[in-house]
A and B are shown apart, each in its own frame.
Chain A
């Protein structure tokens, strides 16, 4: 399957609220794609749908040809916006958990990254600062040799130096068979590492272009264009 992710007319409704409407998207392998939109535009809903944390009201999502379920969870590595780690665990414990459940988890890589960030695996998660916990979560997600990475606001609450580290980690983990989808509203930091951007506004896709296409056609950075398109 050449497209790692295919969405056909996906709609998600919560009661009276339409979170996503008619989303059609095809993303091939080996790309780094930015899913860009303001808060509550449907980005997180979309990512949760891809991870089987929500079911579509209508439409279909296929990851490597499969509907979201056990088979896709084995090849998708998801970094949620939230902190999902059990506080009482030590870092080594959560690494053990990932190793137990994910056959594509590279334990050595994880320990290597922890070492480079000076994080002690024997530390309990609840003693760590929020920023450190986020780094641990990122390390866990990037240590999987997955086929599709979905990162929901990976650089959101983090200081600029840590942001650079995270972007560097994303680049160093890149491989041509995997695709990384990054959802964020902090665009100027990441646009250089993106192949393509998808603008999503009020649950609908309003633009799909490569970064260079945008810069060429508009003479602006993606960040500037974003500010225009999503002006309040």
Chain B
């Protein structure tokens, strides 16, 4: 999964989102060990201090925990991850809905568009 970092938003917050995404989508499975800060920073091509701050925040939030000697791990708490997934989904939907409103669609139209396209994507 490539790291998508936009140039006009703080890198720190984007890193948090990107790691959350990877946890939710299973790139970093529950309970798995994360690569070192250095390696992650190199992979994402970002400053290691910034990566460190993002990881620290995620630890604070409980998505990650660190073991002094063995490194950082993804939480094993399924519910917590579910919560994050939902939060992310909410954020994406809110952005989507705002955009659709700007385009002039109403609630019902939006729902039917979503259903149609979701069907098409299934095939």
- Decide yes or no whether B38 CB sits under 8 A from chain A: yes
Task: Check if B90 is an interface residue, CB within 8 A of chain A.
Answer: no
Asked if A195 contacts B42 (CB within 8 A), the reply is: no
**Smallest CB gap from A31: residue in B:** B49
9-residue interface stretch from A79-87, A103-111, A144-152, A168-176 = A168-176
Closest to B38 in A: A174
A32 on the interface (CB 8 Å rule)?
yes
Most chain B CB within 10 A, of A193, A194, A211, is at: A193
Residues of A within 8 A of B47 (CB): 32, 192-195, 211
Number of chain A residues close to chain B: CB under 8 A? 24
Q: Are B42 and A212 in contact (CB under 8 A)?
A: no
In contact, B8 and A224 (Cβ under 8 angstroms):
yes
Sort chain B's interface into a size bin: 10 to 19
A220 to B9: give the CA distance in the assembly, Å. 7
| Chain A residue contacts of B42, Cβ below 8 A | 168, 171-172
Contact in complex: A192, B11 (CB < 8 Å): yes
Say yes or no: B11 contacts A171, CB within 8 Å.
no
Binary flags per residue of A146-163, CB closer than 8 Å to B gives 1, else 0? 000000000000000000
Asked whether, in the complex, the Cβ of A215 is within 8 Å of the Cβ of B10, the reply is yes
Q: Which residues of B contact A172 (CB under 8 A)?
A: 38, 42
Task: Given the known inter-chain contacts A168-B42, A168-B45, please indicate yes or no for A195 contacting B50, CB distance below 8 A.
Answer: yes
B4 to chain A, nearest CB (A): 12
A171 touches B41 (CB 8 A): yes
Closest chain B residue to A168, Cβ basis: B42
Label chain A's interface by main secondary structure.
helix
**Interface membership of chain A positions 186-221, coded 1 if the CB is closer than 8 angstroms to chain B and 0 otherwise:** 001001111100000000000000011001100111
- State whether the Cβ of A223 lies closer than 8 Å to any Cβ in chain B: yes
A212–B46 alpha-carbon span in the complex (Å): 12
Among B8, B38, B45, B47, chain A packs the most CB atoms within 10 A around the CB of B47
Known contacts A188-B7, A215-B9, A223-B7, A195 near B49 by CB under 8 Å: yes
Q: CB-defined interface of B1-41 with A at 8 Å, one 1/0 digit per residue?
A: 00001011111100000000000000000000000001001
Task: Give per-residue flags for B31-71: 1 if the beta carbon is below 8 A from chain A beta carbons, else 0.
Answer: 00000001001101111111000000000000000000000
Partner of A215, one of B11, B44, B45, B48: B11
Q: Does A22 contact B (CB under 8 A)?
A: no
Bound form: Cα–Cα A212–B7 in Å = 10
Partner of A212, one of B44, B45, B50: B50
Residues of A within 8 A of B38 (CB): 171-172, 174
| Cβ-neighbour of B8 out of A174, A193, A221 (below 8 A) | A221
Cα A212 to Cα B48 in complex, Å, equals: 13
> Is A30 located at the chain interface by the 8 A CB criterion?
yes
Tell me which residues across on chain B come within 8 A of A193, comparing CB atoms. 45-47
**Sample of 26 A–B contacts (CB below 8 Å):** A31-B49, A168-B42, A171-B38, A171-B45, A171-B48, A172-B38, A172-B42, A174-B41, A174-B48, A192-B11, A192-B45, A193-B47, A195-B49, A195-B50, A212-B10, A212-B11, A215-B7, A215-B8, A215-B9, A215-B10, A215-B11, A219-B8, A220-B8, A221-B7, A221-B8, A223-B7
Footprint of B on A, CB under 8 Å? Answer: 30-32, 164, 167-168, 171-172, 174, 188, 191-195, 211-212, 215-216, 219-221, 223-224
